[in-house]
Structure 1
Amino acid sequence: MDASEIRDSVGDFIDTETRRGIGTFDEVVAATVAHLGEAAEADEVRPVVAEAFAAHLEEQRTWPDLLDSDRVHRAFRLLEIDGIIARTDFMCCRNCGVGAIEEQVAREGRRAHGYTFFHAQDAVTAVHGGGVELCFGALAHSPELTGQAIVTRLRETGLRVDWSGDPGERIFVGAKWQRRRLGARADFPGGPVRTSAPLLVTRCDYSREDGYEDDVPMTLAECRGALYELPPVELSFVGAETTVDGVATRLATYWRIEDGRARLWSEVFHPGQFDHAGRYVSLDEIDRVLEAFAVQRRVVLGELGELTAQF
């Protein structure tokens, strides 16, 4: 197949997979070949996927610092701290999503009393402007209380949320779903190479086999978004590095699972001043610390309270 035939046949599929922002270039190419039933070779598909990646990155440059998807991810991280497991673009369907969450709860000993997520089929609708519909359920307490807790957290972030109060109906979030492509998820043959940004970021997501990536240049908004995206898995972290007082300094924020509960631990390494000293933080607190670190090049973690040795 030539490029025009591929665009006509699976252009919408390629656009959707690119906008979902999860798969790398090679993964989107492989998914497209599989979607075509192997009617085209990977080398024939690559130029068309590269066009989609280039267009996405160009559009991404015009996005605001705080996206609706950031707001959803932030609300979901707060829900995790509250005891409700929350995932985005998770598994292929409702049944598989519920099964995977129940398995995680049993495996990790999470003291969760509910869950919420939207799955891959929902993501297809979401990236094309259809908003997000959330599945949810109770593992303890009542489904009505779980649904109301989810709605409250989402509305606190400024999102429009519609729910009838019936636990048999899904929760609709009027969010424009946009996923940033950064680092390996932004790379494609012939694509731009980003060499500078206020922060060099390392992210380690133990929920993914390919979840480790280091020295990714990011803005404050991008780093904050990466932290919001990170699901709570023991010792998964986002670390940012910049220069403070002429010295390379690193701020890292980890998820800890203690007594089945998710908590955030943040620590700083600044030679001669802080040697992996840190403390537990709220999401509001790490927002403040990260902004001072990226914009003012200041370490303000100690202003929140006493710092202790590495956990």
Structure 2
Amino acid sequence: MTDTRLDRHLRITVAALTRKRPQMVQALIASWGAMKLPENCTARCLIVENDDTPRTRDLIEATAVLPNGLELDYVLETEAGISIARNRAAKEALAQEADLLIFVDDDETVAQDWLVKLIAGYRQSDAVLLGAPLRIAPAVDNLTAFQSLMYKSLTEFYQKREQRAAETATLNTPGRAVIATNNWLVETRMFRDENIWFDKKLRFAGGEDTEFLTNVQARGFTVGWVADALVYETLPPARLSFIYQYRRTRDQSNTNFHRRMREKPKARYKIFLRIPGKLIQITVILIALPFSPTHSLLKLAKTAGGFWGKLGAALGTRSRHYTSTTGH
């Protein structure tokens, strides 16, 4: 931690990407407008719409100044792809001469003290890149019995992930925390001075934040975790299906395994040796499913999806997870 970081006035761009989620992005903006603001900072919010037409511009321009005084900016990025839109947000932050770029997702809301906690964590650390926890928002009404079961299973999974991060990560070490752009802060000099950007090749596959993290760490920079800066993800019923969770895990695994094969080409062939063991593991989970459905349901989706994603990568397929959108 440097004295200049403690005392310095910070310029901040808080950004989210959106595509065909007008109600969700409206809820995010409302939470931005209700949050407390950190001292000795100038912050602005930014929505980058990644679409061929400005579907939410009127909504955003109608609330150009939020109740807490934050200004809300809007840009349309017509070139499709999540990494393209993230890079557009970074360019906008640089144009605003921001010191920090912060990302959350358009299907989230932020806690009232979220930005205060995140900036306090940054000031107390040496990290140039920081992640923070993602929790699940309260369930929507009228879920089916199966959707309720999946919601409980996902809640358990998120809680365990946050606990694992709390036990291993600090403001200056990521430990076993998942550093993802759903709750993420970076110094803009990583783009301006280090020329680290989100990989355009991952525009539809995802995993661009993981590769960005890898590049930051490869340069020797500190990465950390802010354990008390909370955001909440809304899970629409469409995401509470077995097949969605399977596909999401498959696509994430596919992207990650492509990266691993670049680093260790032999991994492509070793994955086939694991097929018998993985089939046995899936069978065991299936047998346990009636006895521990809350735990086993999501585990089955993630185990099967994770392994099939790796096999697909070994066979040359690539994820296109971000070609479709769920939500409202």
Q: TM-score, normalised by structure 1?
A: 0.29
- Structure of greater relative contact order (alpha carbons < 8 Å, 6+ residues apart): 2
More helix by share: 2
Q: TM-score, normalised by structure 2?
A: 0.28
More strand by share: 1
